[in-house]
């Protein structure tokens, strides 16, 4: 549930910057979070 924290919040903020985020189990049994962001972020209108 909301508040902007956690994996959902990371995915939402990453998407706002024009990137992607993935989370899930890795092959070695650990957990992996991967966020990819462009070098020049895409700024939606209204965000400074």
Which one-letter DSSP state was computed for residue 30? S
Percentage of the chain with pLDDT > 90? 60
7 with 23: CB under 8 angstroms? yes
Query: How far apart are the C-alpha atoms of 42 and 19, rounded to whole Å?
Result: 9
Taking 90 as the threshold, does the pLDDT of residue 5 lie above it? no
Chain mean position to CA 42 = 14
Q: Which helix (H) or strand (E) holds 8?
A: helix 6-16
**pLDDT tens, residue by residue, 33-47:** 999 998 875 666 666
The tokens of 13 are what? 């903020």
Residue range 3-31: mean pLDDT, rounded:
90
């Amino acid at each position: 549930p909301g508040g902007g924290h956690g994996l959902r919040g990371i995915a939402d903020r990453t998407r706002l910057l024009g990137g992607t985020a993935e989370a899930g189990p890795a092959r070695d049994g650990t957990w992996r979070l991967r966020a990819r962001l462009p070098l020049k972020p895409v700024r939606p209108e209204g965000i400074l």
